[in-house]
């Protein structure tokens, strides 16, 4: 999957600025904002109805935290799936965990499921997919780290796609390409953005 040169350059510039802004968040601020995002997410009907949730595990430079959310979902009796990056061929695999103890340091320093403790599952079993990103716009387009893992992973999934982001990560219209997969909603500490409505407006 390759990007057109002009689009790739624009994305790279946006990515660098967004990463710098996110890294500047102090730990206490990041935790407070992540909790506010979690509280806004769990009030949504699509979260309450979901029996199985696929979520990333926060590990990179001030990402919106998901570990407390994972604990909460497991306590509520929901199934929790997390990704594991496989290199050959490059893809995201989906594993079900019973606790955060089922995770271990993996590819690129990310926390990933331990294969011996976390069962490989079909991602189509998820009722909700929580997606990381460096920057999002109100139409649901996102820019991540540029590997395309999530776009490939999301392409065939029917479950609602929800981006988790701080308000400072919401950008004006982002460049995007045919292979990019938009979010249905983006949840920040201050609002829930209905990206489907925005795209259809």
Separation CA 115–CA 49 (nearest Å)? 28
Q: Residue 148's closest CA among 15, 57, 45?
A: 15
Q: In 88-197, which ranges are E strands?
A: 90-97, 103-105, 111-113, 119-120, 128-131, 135-136, 142-143, 161-164, 185-187, 192-194
| pLDDT of the residue at 125 | 98
Indicate the number of domains in the chain: 1
Q: Residue 116's closest CA among 131, 133, 128, 98?
A: 98
Separation CA 177–CA 167 (nearest Å)? 24
Average pLDDT over residues 55-83: 94
Average pLDDT over residues 174-188: 93
Separation CA 22–CA 161 (nearest Å)? 22
For residue 3, pLDDT beyond 50: no
Work out the pLDDT band at 195, boundaries 50, 70, 90.
very high
| pLDDT of the residue at 159 | 97
Domain limits at 185?
5-200
pTM of full prediction above 0.85: yes
CATH number of the domain that residue 146 is part of: 3.40.50.10420
Average pLDDT over residues 18-27: 89
Separation CA 46–CA 160 (nearest Å)? 8
């Amino acid at each position: 999957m390759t990007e057109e040169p002009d689009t790739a350059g624009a994305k790279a510039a946006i990515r660098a600025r967004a990463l710098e802004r996110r890294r500047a968040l102090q730990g206490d601020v990041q935790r407070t904002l992540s909790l506010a995002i979690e509280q806004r997410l769990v009030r949504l009907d699509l979260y309450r109805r979901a029996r199985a949730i696929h979520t990333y595990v926060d590990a990179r430079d001030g990402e919106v935290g998901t570990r407390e959310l994972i604990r909460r979902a497991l306590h509520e009796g929901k199934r929790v799936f997390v990704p594991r990056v496989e290199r050959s061929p490059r893809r995201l695999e989906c594993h079900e965990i019973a606790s955060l103890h089922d995770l271990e340091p993996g590819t690129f320093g990310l926390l990933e499921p331990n294969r011996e403790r976390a069962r490989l599952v079909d991602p189509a079993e998820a009722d909700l997919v929580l997606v990381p990103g460096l920057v999002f716009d109100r139409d649901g387009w996102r820019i991540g780290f540029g590997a395309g893992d999530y776009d490939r992973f999301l392409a065939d999934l029917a479950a609602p796609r929800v981006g988790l982001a701080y308000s400072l990560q919401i950008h004006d219209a982002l460049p995007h390409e045919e292979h990019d997969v938009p979010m249905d909603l983006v949840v920040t500490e201050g609002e829930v953005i209905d990206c489907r409505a925005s795209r259809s407006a």
